[in-house]
Amino acid sequence: MGKFRYVSYAQEVIFALGSLAQLSEALERFGWKKLLLCTNHSMQVRGYVDSLKSSLGQRLVATFDRVQPHVQDIQVDQVLELATQHEIDAIIGMGGGSPIGMAKAVAYTRKPSIPIIAIPTTYAGSEMTAVYGITHSRENPPRKVTVNDPKIAPRLVIYDPQLTLDLPPEMTASTGINALAHCIEALYSRTRNPISTAAATNGVHHIFNSLLRCYTHPDDVDARTKMLQGAHLAGLSLASVSMGLHHGLCHVLGGTANIPHGIANSIILPHAIRFNADVTVPQLLPAAEAMGISLNGNSPMVAMEAMAQKVFDLVGQMNLPQRLRDAGVNLKESDLPQLAQIAFQNRTVQNNPKPITEPAPIEMLLRSAW
C-alpha cells in the first residue's frame, strides 16, 4: 500500500446511547428548518417515528413511511414530489439501508441537492457512504444500479444503540454479516488505504465479539453498542474504497432475484472469501486474527479456509440461510447462468482484486452457493 488516494467527507457523527435526543440541538446548529422523514412501517410500530416527531415538532413537515427494500425508482419519484411540495431543506433517512438509500436518492435527484441526516437502526452501513443503489423496476428483469456522488454522503449521522434493541434476530444477524462483508472487502479492495484498513480490521474485531451475543440476547446493551460501533467502522471503511465480487453479486441477487441484501451477504460471503483467497491472503490475515484464528503453525491458506468456514458457521448459528436454494425467493438453479452473466457486467464485480474475465467462474461460485 505504498500509494493511495481516497475521498473523505465532512460528516458529523454522534454515537451514544440515547443520542436521538441530541437531534434537535444538532438541527439548530445546522439551521435546518423544514425536514422530510423517509422511513418504514416497523419504525412507526416501534414508536421511533413518534419519538422523532415529538423532538422535531413543526420542523418535520412530511413523512414517507413506506419505503420498500432496495430503493424502488417509482417510490423515489413519489418522495421527490413530497420534497418539492414542502420545500424541504434537509431529508432524514431513519431505519436500515433502504430508507437511508431513499433519502440519498431524493437528495441526489433534487436540484439543488439537500443535506441528509441518517439515523441507522440496522448494521448495513449506508449512513457513512456516498453511494446508493436504485432498482429500475420498469426493466425486465429489474436491475439495481449504484450511484456514487460525494454530495450524498450524510452530513449528520446519529448512532443510537437504543434504536437497535428491537432489531429482530434475523435482521440483526443478516445486517451484521453485511457489516462484516464490508470489512472483508475493504481489506482486500483494490483502492484500500491506511484508514480503511485500520477501520476494517477493528470492525471485524468488534463484530466477531458481539454479533452472536446480539442475536442470542437482543437487549444486551453492551453487545448492541459494540456491534453498532463495528457497523460504524465497517461503513467508514466501505466509504472510501471500491468493493469487489461479493458486493457486486449481492447487488445482482437483490436487484434481479429480490433476495434481501443481508441474506445474500450471508450466503455469498464464505464463497467470496474462498474465491479470492489466493490473491487476498496477505490482506485478510489480520482479519483472520481478529476473528480468533491462530496463525501459529497454520499455513496462510489454511487460515483463509478457517475464516470462510467460521463465517459459514456463524451464519448457521444465527439460523440464516446458508445456500441460495434456501433464500426463500423464487430462484431456480437454472437461473444461475443468467445471474452470472448479469453479474459479469457489474462494475463492482469488475473491481474484484482477483480479475474476472468471463462469467464462468461467477457461475461456479453461484453453483457452490446453491
Give the interface with ligand NAD as residue ranges (CB under 6 A).
40, 42, 46, 69-71, 95-99, 101, 121-122, 124-126, 129, 131-133, 163-164, 166-168, 171, 175, 178, 238, 254, 261-262
If the CB atoms of residues 108 and 208 are measured against ligand NAD, the closer one turns out to be: 108
Residue 163 Cβ, how far from ligand NAD at the closest point, in Å?
Answer: 6
Give me the least distance between CB of 146 and ligand NAD, in Å please: 7
Angle formed at CA 112 by CA 108 and CA 116, multiple of 5 degrees: 50
Question: Nearest distance from residue 360's CB to ligand NAD, in Å?
Answer: 26
Q: Is the Cβ of residue 265 or residue 304 nearer to ligand NAD in the bound state? A: 265
Distance, CA of 143 to CA of 343 (rounded, Å): 11
- Taking the complex as a whole, the smallest distance from the CB of residue 246 to ligand NAD amounts, in Å, to 12
Confirm if 159 and 100 have CB atoms less than 8 A apart: no
Q: Measured from the CB of residue 93, what is the shortest distance to ligand NAD in angstroms?
A: 9
CB of residue 261 vs ligand NAD: minimum separation in angstroms? 4
Angstrom distance (rounded) from CA 366 to CA 157? 36
Inter-CA distances, 337 with 273, 328, 342, 344, Å: 21, 19, 9, 10
Helices in the chain by DSSP H: which ranges? 23-30, 41-45, 48-56, 73-86, 97-109, 169-187, 194-216, 221-239, 245-255, 261-290, 300-317, 336-344, 347-350, 360-369
Within 13 Å of residue 46, how many CA atoms lie on the same side as its CB?
18
Tell me whether residue 70 or residue 232 sits nearer to ligand NAD (CB atom): 70
Query: Which lies closer to ligand NAD via its Cβ, residue 97 or residue 248?
Result: 97
Whether the Cβ atoms of residue 9 and residue 153 lie closer than 8 Å to each other: yes
**Would you say 71 or 249 has its CB closer to ligand NAD?**
71
Give the nearest distance from C-beta 302 to ligand NAD in angstroms: 31
Q: Which residue is nearest to ligand NAD (CB)?
A: 97
Please identify, using beta-carbon distances, which residue of 40 and 201 lies nearer to ligand NAD.
40
What is the chain's Cα-based Rg? 20
Using the minimum distance from each CB to ligand NAD, give the nearer residue, 166 or 335: 166
Burial class (CB in 10 A: 0-12, 13-18, 19+), 69: middle
Residues 214 and 202: their CA atoms lie apart, in Å, by 18
Strands (E), 65-170: 90-95, 116-120, 131-136, 143-148, 156-159
Minimal distance in Å, beta carbon 334 to ligand NAD?
Answer: 26
Beta bridge partners of 62: 36
Q: Which is nearer to ligand NAD, 40 or 197 (CB)?
A: 40
